[in-house]
Amino acid sequence: MRQCIPEYTRITANLYDGLERAAKISGSRKKNMLAKIRLDDVSWGDKEIASFENIRGALLRMVPLAHPSPTAEVALYTDASQDFWGAMVSQLEPLEVSRPLEDQHHQPLAFLSGRFVGAAARWPTIEKEAFAKVEATRWLEYLLLRPKGFRLYTDHRNLVYIFDPYATDGDMARYQADKLQRWAMSLLSFRYVIEHVPGDANVWGDL
């Protein structure tokens, strides 16, 4: 179900925070124990109510997912903000690839999202953007590991040089480049091409 809802993690974040507070109070994550916790005990308020209403609305607007086609081109779009990351895998007819991104007709195959917590919340933007790509390929491998490969889009130009094994340029600290390249190695089992796309043309950013 959550793969049909763009930005599921961001929409439900306040609800999961409330659940964590309830688990801390009860000392257990079992449903029968959590059911004993009153909403007032976990500071249930406007944020949680808004989050609940938002996820109800999202459930009513779930995006229909297409059936993967072996002849289609597959695209992976990711995005990261200060607190969350998201990804979308879509497919499109081969002839669509030559058209401008904003004119292409994409059929969604899956949505994925997550949250930056702990030390990850303090990562710089480029690391958060890279992490979104690595996590998306890890969890959506069943859609991306294919003979025709896929197209990986990024609106962060420096990531092109990190994830493209043929690129030789880039301008970042050595320690940061080493960290990102270690992450990029996890993509070596995939066949893909990476392309830079301006932020205002990033399909995922508009979802």
Sign for the pseudo-dihedral over CA of 122, 125, 126, 128: positive
Q: Give the start-to-end residue ranges of the domains of the chain.
A: 7-60, 73-206
Residue 59 corresponds to which tokens in the numbers above?
A: 């459930």
Q: So what's the pLDDT on residue 178?
A: 79
pLDDT(109) > 60? yes
Q: Do residues 76 and 159 touch, judged by C-beta distance below 8 A? A: no
Report the phi/psi class of residue 180: left, alpha or beta, with left for phi > 0 and alpha for psi in -120 to 50.
alpha
pLDDT by residue (tens digit) across 124-175? 988 999 999 999 999 999 999 999 999 999 887 777 767 775 554 556 667 7
CB 154 within 8 A of CB 128: no
Q: CB atoms < 10 A from the CB of 15, how many?
A: 17
pLDDT in tens, 59-95: 999 999 999 999 999 999 998 999 999 999 999 999 9
154-179 in b/e form (b: 16+ CB < 10 A) is bbbebbbbbbbeeeeeeeeeeebbee
Element (H, E) at 164: none
pLDDT at 200 over 80: no
Residue 196 has pLDDT above 90, yes or no: no
pLDDT digits (tens, 9 = 90+) for 9-38: 999 999 999 999 999 999 998 999 998 899
Express as a percent the part of the chain with pLDDT over 70.
Answer: 90
pTM of the model: 0.84
The fold for domain 73-206 equals Nucleotidyltransferase; domain 5 (3.30.420)
